[in-house]
Chains A and B, each alone.
Chain A
Amino acid sequence: MERSRRRRGTLYDRGRARRLAWVSAVSILFLMIATPCGQATPLSVRVGLGGVFVPGLPTTLHLSVEPYGTQVDGALWVVEQQVGDPWRGEAVMQYRFPAEDTDLDAVIPIYDFTYPLTARLVGEDRNAAPLAEATLNLRPLRKAKPYSLVIGSWPAVSDLDSEAEPVLDVAVSDLSDRWWGYAGIDTIWMGTASSASSAIPTLIWEAIERWVVAGGRLIVATGTSFYLIDSPELRELLPIRSPTLVEDRLRGDLKPGSELHRIPLQEGSGYESETQPLVEETGASETSWEIATSRGAFGDAVELVVQRYGAGLVAVVDRRADELSDQTITDLQVILDDHPYEPPLGWLSGAGEIRSMTLQRPGYPTTVLIGLLTLGGFVWIVFGGFFAGTRRLLAIGVLVVIASVWSGFHVNVRNRSMSLYAEKTILYIDGAVGIAVDRVELFAMATCDGMIPPPWAGRGSQRRGGSTYEGGVAVAQLPLELGGQRWDATWVAEPEGGLLVQSDRGDRRDVVFLSDTEAPLQAVYTGDERVTVSNPGSALAWAIAVVDGEFYDLGGLPRGESSIQLEGAVPPGEAVWGTSFDTIGTELESRFQLSEGAWLIAGTSGSTYERWGEATAKVRTTEVHIVAAELAG
């Protein structure tokens, strides 16, 4: 029987079937485990404050992957965007951030919305399949121009949202702690705070403060909820001192140079405003808002105080945002229209100074002289009849050595052709906080990859958000028409990194870096024609004080503290800027309204030779500091 069953193979069949079942079950189990591991982990991508962005301007970017099971050691976040098309020219912009966590908070410029944004988390083996990958359709997120943000509750402003005037509500937790993250925002409307969770962290307040310095507009209408968001940074920003609540209205002492406006609630009552003069004219440092209000009897009116802050503006309204009507908002916008927002990338647009930059090369006269020496010497030695045989050869040798040494000296670093020529214009806007706008104009004399070091590397690099190396943002300025050329750049956010710009001979490239500064220049105008300056940086070659539009040439500015008497005012309209600062000086006058208040403007310039990756660069730097002088009592 057994033998017959064995012969038929049933014994073997049963065992084989059992083993096969086990093997299949285990295989399926392994397959089920292996399949998710083989696939790239889902990657979440979020851009923009309020989920939108303005093309060409820096915007916030948040990337995150599933924290469990994702190995980020040695990994790299790579964000890539394609710009343009084959007809108008193409560009590929790439951003690389070392992955130190399973999420990334960064600010990058987004240039175009035609192509989706791709984001990858690449493992240590850069050529292997990415650990996580995602694409984001940018088309529905695009806003044509800078938009308004509402923090807290401000229904009348939120209702204004339209294609022409975009307004977005944003939670405090979504705000950026980098001022360049707000480059696409033209106005922040800070409305009624609802709870203690409305409090804004210090880092975010500092970022907002710097954004206002860079030209942003902040309108505060917290009314009775003021203390929910109160902070030292807000008090620094507000145009009033010692804010207090009087009968549910915010009151305080007007800071010098502030403007008090009254918007009547009844139609036909007329719009009134008055400006607080500078300290030396009144002899007092400040005026109480209540005293100012009592000067006129306007009936029931919304009152607001407005003051320039750097290149921006801060307004504080005395009531809660939810008490303000649409008409009041319209009146507020009239005031804002006098101070239009311009993203800091557009500043220094008139530079173009690189056109005047000298292209280095050995000079004609010396080259001709070396040629004549070689030729003349050769003719004299060979055909002059003074030398023969070995002596002739020796004489030729000596001649060649002399001419070669001369050539060698002639092609020293000042006469040597450079791969890149760069004109750096650095504008520091200083004060309680400092920001820097570095514009780099590049001209490529040879096909090369130039690694432009981030300007903040020299000012002390820093880590933000506890993870990513980032002291600022680099924005390649892409013209709308790329002239059929390629314009590729890669941002490498690492200590030895920078913006890697690929360029061909004859290419022009413009890049703007936005960052903040840690040790800003500060000035105090004491009202007795004297200005006290604290300069923690290096000495500056020239300095100008501007008080009520009158310019005073201060000569240079030494490092450290100095007290300077203002003498020999140059009336407005007369040239005070040197030739090399003419363009930037004119821009500053228009951006900062130097005709009002007290300002200190100082700068220096110089040339250096630098190694930018594989390229050698001649860098001409123009450094300008502008600071609104504090008005001492």
Chain B
Amino acid sequence: MLRNWQVETTLFLDRRAFAGYLGFVIVCALAAVISLPPARSVATFGRFLFLQDEPLYFHVFLLAMALLAVRDGLLGSDRGQSGWRGDGAQLARGILAMILVLPFAILQLGLHPGTLGQTLLYLLLALAIWWAVGGMARWLAGAFGRGWARLASYGWIAGYWGVALVADRKFPISPIRVARTWFGVAGASGAGLGPETAIPWSTVLIALGLPILWGVVILASLHRSS
């Protein structure tokens, strides 16, 4: 059992860290509500189809995890976390983030029944992205300063997610493609951002808009605190 001081000094779960989690939980809660299809009967199925054709919750959750990981990495750097202890603490904080939104993930099982295995795999993917992005931000912040760390981390996220938007079908491991494939949503018809994509604009706006908006809030709060 961890002692109180260990929670704050080893895991660095102080109020500042929890503030990031709060935003993350808000975003995921909103995504969980938005992901519910508004149509209540077969007759009204076509209504707000763009809200039904994508596993929105998973899109939002993964991007929010990545953005939270950048913040977490920068905070870790501020606190001088390094080595395997720093990595372990970072991983533990990532698991805590996922546990916090577990109720919403369970709700998604009701929307995508029979996808327990895929959900667990997706959580693993989220943890890997958390570890990669957070670790990168922490290391870059220590080596080159916070500015470069932010630029590189957000650039990496933009690149990874951006590739999905322009070459979704040619890049099957893109996060959006993975969610679409694993959670059994039909190939959506609609405008995309490139010739190789089939992702509708509405999905792009909602899936990226919510976490990006929240990312801006995080950045602003970091600026104030530093």
Chain A residues near B (Cβ < 8 Å): 354-359, 361-364, 367-368, 370-372, 374-375, 378-379, 382-383, 388-393, 396-397, 400, 403-404, 406-408, 410-411, 415-419, 421, 443, 446-448, 504-506, 616
- Flag whether B112 is at the interface (Cβ < 8 A): yes
Listed by A's residue number, 25 A-B pairs whose Cβ atoms lie within 8 Å are: A357-B41, A359-B40, A361-B36, A361-B110, A362-B110, A364-B36, A367-B32, A367-B36, A368-B33, A375-B26, A383-B18, A389-B2, A390-B3, A390-B7, A406-B103, A407-B107, A411-B110, A415-B110, A416-B113, A417-B37, A417-B112, A447-B185, A448-B184, A504-B186, A506-B46
CA distance A382 to B15 in the complex (A): 7
CB distance from A353 to the nearest CB of B (A): 10
Q: How far is the CA of A447 from the CA of B55 in the complex (A)?
A: 14
Instruction: Tally the A-B contacts, defined by beta carbons under 8 Å.
Output: 140
A410 touches B40 (CB 8 A): no
A382 and B114 form a contact (CB under 8 A) = no
> Does B58 reach chain A (CB closer than 8 Å)?
no
B42 and A505 contact, CB distance less than 8 A = no
B37, A359: Cβ atoms closer than 8 Å? yes
Residues of A close to B219: CB separation below 8 A: none
Task: Check if A389 sits within 8 Å of B37, measured CB to CB.
Answer: no
Per-residue contact bits, chain B 1-28, to A (CB 8 Å; 1 contact, 0 not): 1111111100001010010011001100
Q: Does B104 contact A (CB under 8 A)?
A: yes
Extra A-B contacts (10), CB below 8 Å, given A368-B33, A372-B29: A359-B40, A362-B36, A362-B110, A363-B36, A389-B3, A397-B99, A417-B112, A446-B186, A447-B184, A505-B53
Q: Which residues of A contact B121 (CB under 8 A)?
A: none
Q: For A374, give its contact among B6, B29, B41, B187 (CB under 8 Å).
A: B29
Q: How far is the CB of B200 from chain A (nearest CB, A)?
A: 13
What chain B residues lie within 8 Å of A390 (beta carbons)? 1-4, 6-7
Where the two chains meet, the residues of B that have a C-beta atom closer than 8 Å to any C-beta of A are 1-8, 13, 15, 18, 21-22, 25-26, 29-30, 32-33, 36-37, 39-43, 45-46, 49, 53, 96, 99-104, 106-107, 109-114, 184-187
A417 to B102, CA, bound (A): 19
B42, A359: Cβ atoms under 8 Å?
yes
Bound-state CA distance A383–B22 (Å) is 10
Q: A357 to B39, alpha carbons, bound, how many Å? A: 11
The distance from the CB of A375 to the nearest CB of chain B, in whole angstroms, is 6
Selected contact of A370 from candidates B15, B107, B111, CB within 8 Å? B107
Chain A contact residues, majority secondary structure? helix
| CA–CA, A42 and B4, complex, Å | 84
| Residues of B close to A410: CB separation below 8 A | 107, 110
Give the residues in chain A near B110, CB-CB below 8 Å. Answer: 361-362, 410-411, 415-417
Contact status B103-A374, CB under 8 Å: yes
Q: Is the CB of B41 within 8 A of A382?
A: no
Selected from A361, A388, A400, A417, the residue in CB contact (under 8 A) with B4 is A388
Given contacts A375-B26, A417-B110, contact A403 B103 (CB under 8 A): yes
What is the bound-complex CA distance between A367 and B13, given in angstroms? 28
A505 lies within 8 A of B100 (CB): no
A378 and B114 CA atoms in complex are apart in Å by 30
Q: Are A616 and B113 in contact (CB under 8 A)?
A: yes
Is there an interface contact between B112 and A447, defined as CB atoms closer than 8 Å? no
Q: How far is the CB of B98 from chain A (nearest CB, A)?
A: 10
Considering the chains assembled together, what is the distance between the CA atoms of A616 and B103 in angstroms?
Answer: 23
State whether B25 touches A378 (Cβ < 8 A): yes
Contacts of B43 in A (CB 8 A): 355-356
**Residue in B18, B30, B99, B112 whose CB lies within 8 Å of A382:** B18
Residues of B within 8 A of A447 (CB): 184-186
Nearest chain A residue, comparing its CB with the CB of B101: A374
- Nearest chain-B residue to A364 (Cβ)? B36
Asked if A362 contacts B29 (CB within 8 A), the reply is no
B5 to chain A: which residues have CB within 8 Å?
Answer: 389
Residues of B within 8 A of A372 (CB): 29
A25 to B137 CA separation, bound complex (whole angstroms): 82
CA distance A393 to B110 in the complex (A): 28
Q: Taking CB as reference atom, which chain B residue is nearest A362?
A: B110
Contacting pair B186 A367 (CB below 8 A): no
CA of A363 to CA of B40 in the docked complex: distance in angstroms? 10
Given A354-B42, A357-B41, A378-B22, answer yes or no on A505-B4 (Cβ-Cβ < 8 Å): no
Q: Identify the closest chain B residue to A355 (Cβ).
A: B43
Q: Nearest 4 A-B pairs (CB), nearest first?
A: A389-B4, A411-B110, A371-B29, A505-B186
Do A358 and B40 touch (CB < 8 A)?
yes
Q: What CA separation (Å) do A383 and B7 show in the bound complex?
A: 16
* Pairwise interchain contact A389-B7, C-beta atoms closer than 8 A: yes
Q: Are B25 and A374 in contact (CB under 8 A)?
A: yes
Smallest Cβ distance from A85 to chain B, in angstroms? 21
> Given A375-B25, A403-B103, A406-B103, is A361 in contact with B111 using a C-beta cutoff of 8 Å?
yes
Query: What is the distance, in angstroms, from B132's C-beta to the closest C-beta of chain A?
Result: 25
